[in-house]
Chain A
Amino acid sequence: MKARRAIAALLISLAGVALVASASEFNTVQNAKSQITFASKQMGVPVEGKFGKFTAQINFDPAKPEAGRAQVEIDLNSIDTGSDDANTEVKRKSWFDTQNFPTAKFVSSSIKAMGGGKFEAAGKMTIKGRTLDMVAPFTFKPEGKDARFDGTFTIKRLSYGIGEGAWADTSTVADEVVVKSSVLVSATPTPISAPIPATKPAPKQ
């Protein structure tokens, strides 16, 4: 029947469109090729560190940046400040209090293009139980089949209560902490044979 063939043709072309669309969306973070580092100042001395463990979910299509989403969760116990003493100290109550707040989390609410490969992700940053609005500028650069997202933003540690009490003195440890993230994301096209189901899959026996 003509109608059935027409519907079949339509379905196939829709599937094709879906495939093309999902192929240009970057959505699989490659942790081994990604890093989150931070830099601050102590007594005027630049100090750098990094977070060894984090998870990130990124869905981003440079053609439709406003539809993009990003969620990053950092394991604060994986912090490396460069010295054992400081690594122990920053996990304590007056700093990150990792026993009660083991992670820092950023969830984007909107992403907009700023032109020239630059974007801005607005969202909420939660550290030590405090959630604040944040805007994180980032760049998007294709790297082979993948794409690298480089972001740099500054947080004020005291607004999250990081380094309280005696440590609140910013002439010793500066308030500003520059966080840099460089995340490699690949595009994993969703196979047509296994689309994201609109209905719940049949429960396994």
Chain B
Amino acid sequence: MASLVTKYGKPAIVFHWLTFILVLSLFPMGGLMKDMPISPEKLQLYSIHKWIGITVFLLTAFRLTWRATHPVPQLPTTMPAWQRSIAGAIHTVLYILLFAIPISGWLMSSAKGVQTVYLGLVPLPDLVSKDQALGELLGSLHDTFALTLGALVITHVAAALKHHLIDRDDVLPRMLPFLKVRK
């Protein structure tokens, strides 16, 4: 029964923090590589950015499958209902963005005429053909999604810290098991 668990399982915790580290690495890469003059490093950075992005996509797919088949701890009953619905909404949008950002990046790459080949080994199909205007559009979509994700992650972190430092509940420790609930 979902209501009986009070902690996240180990796999859920690993999925969460792995995603955090990968997403954190994608931001500076994405920002830097665009303005770099053409060089082998630029081509490498683009490829690595795409490979990590696809990895986040796959990780999120596994993660949601895991989540759908395993109990999820409930939020503390001390939380007001409005806070719980906002937390739920933010989580939903975070998951959607973890899919939408890599997909928009993949389509942008195709539209700009560059196929995406995962790890240099697995070619992804080009779902759209070369079209510079569409490439620009998907590019700004990708950027907007990424900035939204950034803003939501900051909100997510701030809320977790608020739970830990002010509410002193178990919301943060259940995702960071070495932490103790502050008394």
Q: Smallest CB–CB gap between B10 and chain A, Å?
A: 34
> Complex formed: what's the CA distance from A42 to B119 in Å?
12
Q: Is B113 an interface residue (CB 8 A)?
A: yes
Q: Is B83 an interface residue (CB 8 A)?
A: no
The 0/1 profile, CB within 8 Å of A marked 1, for residues 19-62 of chain B is 00000000000000000001110011011000000000000000
Q: Smallest CB–CB gap between B46 and chain A, Å?
A: 8
The answer to whether B40 and A45 touch across the interface, beta carbons within 8 angstroms, is no
Q: A82 with B117: in contact, given A42-B43, A89-B38 (CB under 8 Å)?
A: no
- How many residues of chain B have a CB within 8 Å of chain A? 18
Interface-side segment among A61-69, A165-173, A182-190: A165-173
> Complex formed: what's the CA distance from A42 to B113 in Å?
13
The answer to whether B115 and A45 touch across the interface, beta carbons within 8 angstroms, is yes
The answer to whether B116 and A172 touch across the interface, beta carbons within 8 angstroms, is no
Q: Is B120 an interface residue (CB 8 A)?
A: yes
Q: Is B114 an interface residue (CB 8 A)?
A: yes
> Complex formed: what's the CA distance from A192 to B107 in Å?
61
> Complex formed: what's the CA distance from A169 to B40 in Å?
8
Q: Is B166 an interface residue (CB 8 A)?
A: no
Q: Give the chain A neighbours of B123 by CB distance below 8 A.
A: 45-46
> Complex formed: what's the CA distance from A86 to B121 in Å?
23
> Complex formed: what's the CA distance from A86 to B114 in Å?
13
> Complex formed: what's the CA distance from A83 to B123 in Å?
20
Q: Is A144 an interface residue (CB 8 A)?
A: no
Q: A82 with B113: in contact, given A44-B120, A89-B38 (CB under 8 Å)?
A: yes
> Complex formed: what's the CA distance from A137 to B113 in Å?
29
Query: Which A residue sits closest to B115, measured CB to CB?
Result: A45
The answer to whether B38 and A46 touch across the interface, beta carbons within 8 angstroms, is no
The answer to whether A45 and B113 touch across the interface, beta carbons within 8 angstroms, is no
> Complex formed: what's the CA distance from A45 to B51 in Å?
12
The 0/1 profile, CB within 8 Å of B marked 1, for residues 2-20 of chain A is 0000000000000000000
The 0/1 profile, CB within 8 Å of B marked 1, for residues 75-95 of chain A is 000000011011011000000
> Complex formed: what's the CA distance from A45 to B120 in Å?
7
The answer to whether B43 and A172 touch across the interface, beta carbons within 8 angstroms, is yes
| Interface residues, chain B, with chain A CB atoms under 8 Å away | 38-40, 43-44, 46-47, 112-117, 119-121, 123, 130
A-B contact pairs, 19 of them (CB 8 A): A43-B43, A43-B44, A43-B120, A44-B117, A44-B121, A45-B115, A45-B120, A45-B123, A46-B115, A46-B117, A46-B123, A47-B114, A82-B130, A83-B113, A88-B38, A166-B40, A167-B40, A169-B40, A172-B43
Q: A82-B113, A166-B40 provided; 15 other pairs, C-beta below 8 A?
A: A43-B44, A43-B46, A43-B47, A43-B117, A44-B117, A44-B119, A45-B115, A46-B115, A46-B117, A47-B114, A86-B38, A167-B40, A172-B40, A172-B43, A173-B40
Question: 8 shortest A-B CB distances, which residue pairs?
Answer: A44-B120, A43-B47, A172-B40, A85-B38, A44-B117, A45-B117, A89-B38, A82-B113
